Structures are given as C-alpha cells and as structure tokens.
Amino acid sequence: MKQLESIIPLITPFTNNRVDKQLAVDHGNDVLRGGMKYLFLAGTTGVGPSLSTQEKLDLLDAFSNIPDSIMLQVGSLNLEDSVDMARTAKKKKIHAVAALPPYYFTGLKREWLVKYYVKISSEYPTIIYNYPDTTGYNITYDIINDIRKDGGNIIGIKETTFNMNDILNTKMYVDDFKVYTGPDQYILSGFRLNLDGYVSGAGNYGYKIIKGIEENYDNEKGDRYQFLLNELSDLSRKYGTISSIYDMVEIITGVDAGCPREPFFKLSDSDRVQLKNEVNTVMEKYNFKL
C-alpha cells in the first residue's frame, strides 16, 4: 500500500479565549492514533496568525514528548520572532518548521523573499507554506531553487493552491524536495500523481475517511472516500470555516476540541444542531458509520 506523509494542521482549542494546552494534546493524540503521521501547529486551521509568539511556543511545549510528530508554523511579519521560534524548534528537535512568506505587505522584492527563507531555514529545516490567496505571494519552483542556491535549507513545500500546474512544476524542477498538497480535495490526486504528502484541515475530524482514501487510492472506493471528504469540507465552509471544525471534531470523533478564538465565534446552538444533522445525512449517503 502506498503511503504519503499525512500532516494535520491541528485546530487550536481555546477556553475563555485562552489556549487550552490539555485539550490540544487530547485532540492531537486522537488524530495520531487515527493513523496520521504529523501534527502541524499554528497553521491557518490553528489560527496561527492570531497567536502570540509565546502562545505558539506554549503549544510546542505541550507536545514536547512527541517531537518527531510535530511541525510548527513560524512565518510572520517579524523575522526576528520567526528565527527565534526556529531556534526553539531546533532545541525541541521537532520534525521541521514551516513558514509562510511575510504576508499582508505585498510587493517585497524577490531577493528579500529569498533572504527571508534563507534566514529562517539556516536555523532549522524549513517547509515553505505557499498560500497565495492570503499572503499575496506565490512561491514557485524557480524561487525555491534561488533560496537553495543562497544556502537555504528548504526541504519541502505545502501548496495551498488549486494550481496543479505550479504543484507539478515544483515536483519536476526541484530536486530532492517534498511537495505536499494543501486543499482537502486534492488528497486522492496526491496519491495518483506521486506527490509526497498532504496537509489536510479536514483531517481534524476526517482521519478515518483519509485512511480510506489511502487504502483505496487505486480503485473506485478511493474516489468515493474523497467525495465524502469533499462534502464534509463543503459543510464546514457553509457553517463557517475554522469555527465549524471544532464542532465537527466533537460530532464525528467525540473528542472535545474546545472553542475557537474570537473573531471566529462559536456556532449557535441551532447551527450546531443543523450541522450535526447534515453531517449525519452525508455519512448515511456514503454508508459511512461514525
């Protein structure tokens, strides 16, 4: 059976708008027991941009007993903070760090982007977090090769884009480099196109479905599992991406994942009941039992 590296960007549980490390550990351990390989802390699904540097480090410390299973998003608008977090990751001996480009301020010179990634990855092996829709930058294969020429220790890229041409170009034109697909809808494609792995926000609640894709990527059952995951992801967006995932974790896995941090407000009681009913309807449609 073909296996790709499964990376789950863990939601960050909050209690009274404060990071709840115990709930994070409980949820993270459940995801790992479900067969996923890595937990990605402080990513988009984990509302990383709303976390302080100390909160990110607190999350990292909460998982210090399983460093080989952990990645941390360190990219920020403060390069000194990013470098310091990468140094801490090195001390903790986690699997790797990932870094968004400096978001919000679009128009940075290409050479500055290269320097940014060289400085972070000089501290610790780094996975580029490419999310053009939110950062304003598209890190393509030629930029990656420039970073490496300047000494950057870049080991992979998370492609949060539906531009399959860019994804395949990176796979083709960057040697000894891991390419991970970001959209939940591309997990099956990742298997069939021989990518290296996937980063799936839906894995917070749908890891059993993802295992179904993995076990059946070469047959029609794989398509069916992917369609099921797609419909659940659509429900998440319908009820409010990020916030809805907290409820879907509890509805589907039974694990208490706490609450989101405002301005990602908790779903109303009526929305939660309706979401649960729609989740059950989708599961029944595909004959998948909770």
The amino acid occupying position 155 is I
CB 121 within 8 A of CB 156: no
Residue closest to 58 by CA, chosen among 20, 7, 15: 20
Cα 212 from Cα 190, distance rounded (Å): 14
> Is 158 annotated in the active site?
yes
Please provide residue 150's backbone torsions phi and psi, each rounded to the nearest 5 degrees: -90, 10
181 three-class SS: strand
Residue closest to 72 by CA, chosen among 133, 80, 61: 61
5 three-class SS: strand
Cα 47 from Cα 130, distance rounded (Å): 16
- Residue of 56, 158, 171, 178 with catalytic role: 158
Tokens representing 252 are 């589907």
CA angle 218, 202, 136 (to 5 degrees): 105
Only one residue has tokens 């294969």, namely: 141
CA angle 219, 223, 226 (to 5 degrees): 135
Cα 43 from Cα 8, distance rounded (Å): 10
State the DSSP H helix or E strand holding residue 128, giving kind and residue range, or none if neither.
strand 126-130
Only one residue has tokens 């709840």, namely: 20
Cα 175 from Cα 170, distance rounded (Å): 9
Residue closest to 242 by CA, chosen among 99, 106, 134: 134
Give the active site residues: 158
